[in-house]
Amino acid sequence: MLRLASGRHRLEGIVKWMTQRHRSGGHRRSTKSPNPHHHGDPVLVKNRQKVGQSQKPRFVSRHSTPHAPPSKPPVIGHADIIPYFQSEVTHWANNVNTLQRLVSFGLPEDNSRTLLDHFAKTVQSGALSNPSEFEYYQLSRFSMPYRGYSTDVIYSTIFFWWASNSRVLLEKLDGIRSETLDLLQKITETTDRSFPEDEFPYARRNRRTIIMHVGPTNSGKTHHALRALASASTGVYAGPLRLLAHEIWERLNTGKILPLGMEEDERNMSISHSSFGDPRFIRPCNLVTGEENRLMGEHVPLHSCTIEMLSHRNHYDVAVIDEIQMLADEERANAWVNAVLGVNAKEVHLCGEETAVPIVQDLLKHTGDEIIVRRYERLSPLVVEEESLGGDLSKVQKGDCIVTFRRKSIFTMKQRVERKTGMRCAVVYGRLPPEIRSEQAALFNDPNSGYDVLIGSDAIGMGLNLYVVHKTLLVCKTNCSFQEN
Residues 310 and 327 in one domain: yes
Q: Please report, to the nearest 10 degrees, the dihedral formed by the alpha carbons of residues 37, 42, 44, 46 taken in order.
A: -140
Evaluate whether 22 touches 145 at the Cβ level (below 8 Å): no
Q: Is 298 inside any structural domain?
A: yes
Residue 395 has a CB neighbour count (10 Å cut-off) of 17
Domain edge (last residue) among 325, 349, 375: 375
Q: Is 228 inside any structural domain?
A: yes
Residues 228 and 336 in one domain: yes
Full residue range of the structural domain in which residue 336 is found: 197-375
Residues 10 and 90 in one domain: no
Residues 450 and 314 in one domain: no
Domain edge (last residue) among 140, 159, 193: 193
Q: Is 13 inside any structural domain?
A: yes
Residue segments in the chain with a per-residue pLDDT below the cut of 70: 1-74, 145-149, 264-276, 382, 458-485
Residues 238 and 332 in one domain: yes
Residues 54 and 178 in one domain: yes
| 210 φ/ψ angles, rounded to the nearest 5 degrees | -100, 115
Question: What total number of domains does the chain contain?
Answer: 3
Q: Is 33 inside any structural domain?
A: no
Residues 75 and 6 in one domain: no
The packing angle between helices 178-191 and 150-165, to 10°, is 120
Per residue in 441-457, pLDDT tens? 888 888 888 899 999 88
Residues 429 and 462 in one domain: yes
Nearest to 192 by CA among 15, 37, 78: 37
Q: What is the DSSP letter of 74?
A: P
Burial of 359 (0-12, 13-18, 19+ CB in 10 A): buried
Alpha helical stretches, state H, 213-364:
221-230, 242-253, 266-269, 333-342, 357-363
Residues 149 and 77 in one domain: yes
CA distances from 52 to 65, 76, 83, 146 (A): 33, 9, 17, 15
What is the number of H-type helices and E-type strands within the chain? 16, 16
Residues 146 and 284 in one domain: no
Alpha carbons within 13 angstroms on the beta-carbon side of residue 172 total: 4
| 293 φ/ψ angles, rounded to the nearest 5 degrees | -125, 130
Distance CA 351, CA 94 (A): 46
Evaluate whether 455 touches 447 at the Cβ level (below 8 Å): no
Domain edge (last residue) among 165, 193, 221: 193
Q: Is 467 inside any structural domain?
A: yes
Residue 109 has a CB neighbour count (10 Å cut-off) of 11
Residues 204 and 162 in one domain: no
Predicted confidence at residue 461, as pLDDT, reads: 59
Q: Is 370 inside any structural domain?
A: yes
**Strands (DSSP E) found in 156-301:** 209-214, 235-239, 285-288, 293-294
Per residue in 17-75, pLDDT tens? 233 323 333 333 333 333 333 333 333 333 333 333 333 333 433 333 444 444 555 67
| 60 φ/ψ angles, rounded to the nearest 5 degrees | -120, 155
Evaluate whether 58 touches 188 at the Cβ level (below 8 Å): no
- Please give the radius of gyration of the chain, using alpha carbons only, rounded to the nearest integer: 27
Q: Is 30 inside any structural domain?
A: no
CA distances from 71 to 9, 56, 140, 143, 159 (A): 44, 18, 20, 16, 20
Segment holding 375, helix H or strand E = strand 370-375
Residues 317 and 222 in one domain: yes
| Inter-residue long-range contacts of 163-166, CB under 8 Å, 24+ positions, other chains counted | 163/115, 163/119, 163/188, 164/188, 164/189, 165/35, 165/38, 166/122
Evaluate whether 411 touches 466 at the Cβ level (below 8 Å): no
CATH of the domain at 250: 3.40.50.300
